Amino acid sequence: MSDRDEFGAFLVGFIVGGVTGAIVSLLYAPQSGQETRALIRDKGIEIRDKAAATTEEAIARAEAAAAEARARAEELSAKLQERGKEVVASAKKASEDVMESAKKASQNITKRPAKSGSSEA
């Protein structure tokens, strides 16, 4: 987002600087009113064309950045899904191991002979 802000500031500065320069040059030019108006019209057209070109370039950059971000997000999503599957498989394996251990422990308890509690004297 910082790049977009910097580019926007650059674009505004470019346009303001261009307009200011054009006005100052026209005010100090030793020309007749008709020539000055023609020059103003020509400069206006030139500035409009430059602004249109700059806008098109900005739009193209924004679309490219959006496409790149979308591709990166899809890539990260796929990695996250894969990692999620690995975690689920690991948890399932761990639970199966615990169940197996519990079964073995249960079988060992039931197989032990009962101790007689009476003592003969």
| Average pLDDT estimate for 41-60 | 90
- Calculate the CA dihedral of residues 97, 99, 102, 104 and round it to 10 degrees: -70
pTM: 0.45
Distance from C-alpha of 33 to C-alpha of 50, rounded to nearest angstrom: 25
What is the Cα–Cα distance from 27 to 20, expressed in whole angstroms? 11
**CA 8 – CA 12 distance, rounded (Å):** 6
CB 15 within 8 A of CB 51: yes
If you average pLDDT over residues 23-48, what whole number do you get? 81
Distance CA 120, CA 118 (A): 7
Give residue limits of the domains in the chain: 2-75
Convert the pLDDT of each residue in 70-116 to its tens digit.
Answer: 999 999 999 999 999 999 999 999 999 899 888 888 887 777 665 65
Encoded amino acid at 33, one letter: G
Please, what is the average pLDDT of the chain?
83
Q: Is the pLDDT of residue 118 over 90?
A: no
